[in-house]
Amino acid sequence: MSLIAGRPNASAIALDVNDDAALEAAVAKHDIVISLIPYTHHARVIKAACKHKKHVVTTSYVSPAMMEYDQAAKDAGITVMNEIGVDPGIDHLYAIKTIDEVHALGGKITSFTSYCGGLPAPECSNNPLGYKFSWSSRGVLLALRNNAKCVVDGKVLDIPGPELMNSAKSIPIYPAFAFEGYPNRDSTPYNERYHIPEAKTVIRGTLRYAGFPKFINALVKLGFLEDKEVPHLVASAAPIQWRNLLAQAIGVQFTTVDNLEAAVKKTADISGDDADRIIFGMKWLGMFSETNVHLRGTMLDTLCATLEDKMMYAPGERDMVMLQHRFGVEYPNGKKEIRTSTGLWFGVPNGDSAMATTVGVPCGIATQLILDGKLKRRGVIAPMDKEINNPILEALEAEGIFMVDEIIA
């Protein structure tokens, strides 16, 4: 109820999305459905919307299960608009914009790289990971175990989840920021989705502050991203101190903190300044302390409980969203250039976060355009061409949300 406080046109209901009858009853009462629930449930919402001929908007990637309703949506005469937040969403709008401009000039996109990150504003990045949670820490960490694919110099690079953090590299955007980035999910469909078959490098990736990937990689090697049940971490188990759990995780007996540090460095294969920083961060989290862990059943969930204790946004803190596209361009006369599109947005202390704004406003604009009859494409769609994108871009920029384009010849 707190989410609708001060919004007289909003009303709250309790709804189990797995209850088809209740879901259909709710969908039938409205002109359009904005589905911001976990993406695995969108297909169920779309099914109900097709039956009752109601439009749908989501900010999620189009999954195969959602795409199965494309023809049903067309037959019902409805629009199921997806991928219209920030990433995906704003990123698509400005990628397509620049690609269309280059193609109109007869040029080719030889490379496309795009990195986006939702992060604490610099003054709020005051922990060893340089990261804070505004949603499930479990979801954030599980995403770090996913495989990734991208195209580099004409070859498909397949990165197994355990190696993802090792693929991170420095991403220079503004001198004031120290960013590192790593590929996110599967970038290989974007030669086709973005109409750039000529591109030899296509990478869509995630931005984090420098040091994050190596810290996470150490946690992976120490076993803290494992989500299988551990008997001594179930709720009924005896209390266990963090330093003893850490020792058990790496197969040693705790004797002294110094000895445990040495064992951690060996297991995580860290040394020098990196080791000093990572050990400091683990101590900051309490992993060498006598504090009892939160018994959550698995190593991953036990770690998450501590992260959520120590790394949530505090009142008055603000977040930021950083997004940059980088295009390699070549023209028939041999001229080459680099084009960039850059967006940087900050949240309002005790107000709307940057993430809420950059996800919510594009979603709201797409919703309004459908209701106004200005977005007429039917079926399960995403913002992949100017017919869909240009009206959204125009409205988005009118709201003060835009990316800055630059050409470096």
pLDDT value for 143: 87
pLDDT value for 4: 84
The 10s digit of each residue's pLDDT in 259-314 is 999 999 999 999 999 999 999 999 999 999 999 999 999 999 999 999 999 999 99
Instruction: Show which residues are catalytic.
Output: 87
Record the pTM.
Answer: 0.94
Q: Residue 296 in 3-state DSSP?
A: coil
pLDDT value for 354: 98
- In the numeric block, the tokens 């919703």 are attached to 367
Q: Residue 180: beta bridge partners? A: 170, 208
Residue stretches of the chain with pLDDT short of 70:
1
Considering the chain, what percentage of its residues have pLDDT values greater than 70? 100
DSSP string, 170-230: E--S-TT--EEEEE-SB-TTHHHHTT-TT-SEEEEEEEEETTHHHHHHHHHHTTTT--SB-
Q: Residue 270 in 3-state DSSP?
A: coil
